[in-house]
Structure 1
């Protein structure tokens, strides 16, 4: 150690572990004991980082930064680059993550939020200082300004590069649209049952096909990050292949800048970056507007079709003694057919049911109203 004589290190005592269980082939000159190498010593690394932040080891730091234009990545000991993706998913063809779907889980989560107190006490676990993440004007030079574009990125999901993924830190769920799920060739049997619907900004409920946990990798080698993400799979129209919400962004410890259209996150080998595609973001925006216009046009056409009558209807009395018993027939038929149909209906008026007593022997399941609820969820009586 070149800094052992700097009188800045605080040498700890020997390790408190059982000496008989410590490997004798490894010796730490910092602890002056066997068990691990000085290169792997956690306590030594923590003190060196603290001294660098205090400005006491500038001669060693400046030596590494003599050439500011040269950026040497930190050594990666496994020397194994990730395998290339199988393919790309570019175009779409054709409830909360923390609480769960049950009422009991949601109430438990709400109580835990109310019990959060901001105190000066710290947990007993070892704290690792995260690097400072910042954005500069250099990060925004590739963009067209001014802009109000969404942050749309490309990520690696499983063995595929999935493009058109919206970063939405206002979403409590990570969403994968069903067309993209189909293109990835994943067996639908892998989907887990998910009963809680998603509620959009307009209050529309979208019911899920299921949920699935997939590996997601972002960043460039070696500043890359790989995490398992639980996606909720939905089957509805969208210009995006997926949405990443705050559960995943929080797990990355990500810093997001919509001005720079960029995400930065800490990795074991420095700060990783994920840039948004401004052209793709505008393409998705236009596609969503066209889909909305098409949907509204379809609704208007359907309403017009329902409102138009095929022919005028005429009301006829089936029983002269009971004038309230009537039915209606069309008026486009000729007089002979009209008279024959009226006679036939009056002769078979016993086939009509005018009240419940006229329908004996019918299975109650045919007319009993049922609520479309989850049978595994017990009913709860709400307060008035």
Structure 2
């Protein structure tokens, strides 16, 4: 207590109560008695704050601020990050993992570890594709700032499918059952799948089956058409479908959430597929309403 000699503090009387019932290992120099530490003394803190507010003790305030910064810097150097409590996962599983045997999975895992640890990459044939770039001009049409998801429209079979969520973290392409029904496809066309999907928070979903559909992105001639195998799931969602890594990788597509755009190579140059920012926000609000109703 370097400020005790300043004459500004008003020292209180002794602590009330039976002194024999108070902890003997804690001593307050402000109250001159046992029961709590000086650093934790509420009455002392109140007086100091009042004196600072009156413009007093400035020389102590500035020095304490410097000392605090030094202590914080030292503490940051010595601190270690806390380990994570758990995992929050996106959609995983699907046809890509269902077709793997245990032996194949182990081989695949060893290949990944080899790349991560040694930096070695298997040799692949070189194919010349146009360079895909994003610029600030690509984001001019959007409302900023934003943290919207990438929602696009695609042609699936003979339908224009809107509200398709582009999810780079999903290892499966998903088609929600209400959208499947609107496409007037007989449920008997579904191929049974022994594939388990693990969604947000570890929720497990068993698909009704799989269906392969022709999906077209872009407009002629800058377009791409691929056969995509969707897992059909019967659960609540404001989206009609989810486009995951299997299709994005087959398209050699590059996504940007900042620009809300997909770009992919075609025989006639790079094609842009713009996300619908209004649809993304409508879907977000619809998802919130669904959660409120549960």
TM-score by length of 2: 0.64
Q: Tell me the CA shift for residue 133 of structure 1.
A: 0.7
- Report the Cα offset of residue 222 of structure 1: 1.1
- The structure with the largest alpha-carbon Rg is 1
**3-state secondary structure, aligned to 1:133:** coil
Q: Secondary structure at the match of 1:216?
A: strand
- Offset at 1:247? 1.0
C-alpha displacement of 1:173: 0.5
Answer yes or no: is the 8 Å Cα contact 1:192–1:211 preserved in 2. yes
The 1:121/1:171 distance shift into structure 2, 3 A limit, reads: closer
Matches within 5 A, 1:294-313: 294-295=293-294
1:231-270 superposed matches below 5 A: 231-270=230-269
Give the superposition deviation at 1:111. 3.9
Q: Which residue of 2 aligns with 1:214?
A: 213
**Alignment partners' CA distance in 1, 2:162 and 2:169:** 20
More helix by share: 2
Cα distance in structure 2, aligned partners of 1:187 and 1:110: 38
User: What residue in structure 1 maps to residue 174 of structure 2?
Assistant: 175
Contact 2:222 2:267 in 1 (8 A): yes
In the alignment, structure 2 segments of 5+ residues that lack a partner are 1-92
**Uncovered stretches (5+) of structure 1, i.e. residues with no partner:** 1-94, 296-384
Distance change in 2, residues 1:122/1:170 (3 Å): closer
Q: In the alignment, does 2:199 pair up with 1:186?
A: no
8 Å CA contact 1:99, 1:109 repeated in 2: no
RMSD value over aligned CA atoms? 1.8
Shift of 1:102: 5.9
Cα 1:99–1:281 shift into 2, 3 Å:
same
Q: Secondary structure at 1:162's aligned position in 2?
A: strand
Specify whether residues 186 and 133 from structure 1 end up closer, same or farther in structure 2 by C-alpha distance, changes over 3 A only: same
Q: Distance in 2 between matches of 1:99 and 1:107?
A: 12
Deviation of 1:109 (Å): 3.3
Structure 2 CA distance, aligned partners of 1:244 and 1:103? 25
Distance 2:155 2:230 in 1: 14
Superposed displacement of residue 134, structure 1: 0.8
Cα contact 2:95–2:195 (8 A) shared by 1: no
Structure 1 residue aligned with 2:129: 130
Contact in 2 for aligned 1:178/1:233 (Cα 8 Å) = yes
Q: Give the C-alpha shift of residue 106 in structure 1.
A: 3.5
**Aligned residue in 2 for 1:278:** 277
> Take 1:106 and 1:190, find their aligned partners in 2: how far apart are those partners?
29
* Cα distance in 2 between the residues matched to 1:103 and 1:287: 39
Higher relative contact order (CA 8 A, sep 6+): 2
Distance in 2, Cα, partners of 1:191 & 1:202: 28
2:202 is equivalent to residue 203 of structure 1: yes
Partner of 2:41 in structure 1? none
